[in-house]
Amino acid sequence: MAGSYRADDADLAPIAGARILLVEARFNEAIVAMLREGALRALSRAGADVTSIVVPGALEIAPAIAIALDLAERAGAPYDGVVALGCVMRGDTYHFEIVAGESARALTDLAVSRRLALGNGVLTVDNEAQAIVRADPAQGDKGGGAALAALALVRLTRSLRGGA
């Protein structure tokens, strides 16, 4: 696949004690299940401790992350990173553009403002066939890619802080 990211050995190395929040949208559930499978496989290989939560749709992912981050911080058990999973499919109305754009904007704003190691696995596709190719762990594995992106940022954060 042109332009796809290829993980190297550093991307696949275990990351001791990483606490990862996985937030998935229930809308387009079959597609998101494939994304989750890929993400959980990548996180398991890395030895990450995963907490999963489910929200109705892509627009609810960022607020759920913010709520969970605040509560985890208050409890003294902050998350090291987050993986966001969802699927927004083009329909016959302008709604697609709003949901696709605003969910991406909210996740980016959240990641930058909170210095959050976030892997964005929210697909924005024209149809179900495209979604399957991107979500299926045997094909596009965008869920696994989102998890690897979050873990890469966790590793970066740890290295910049002087930890392993």
Active-site positions read: 95
Reduce the DSSP state of residue 80 to 3 states and report it. Answer: coil
Inter-helix orientation angle 128-135/142-161, to 10°: 50
Q: How far apart are the C-alpha atoms of 144 and 75, rounded to whole Å? A: 28
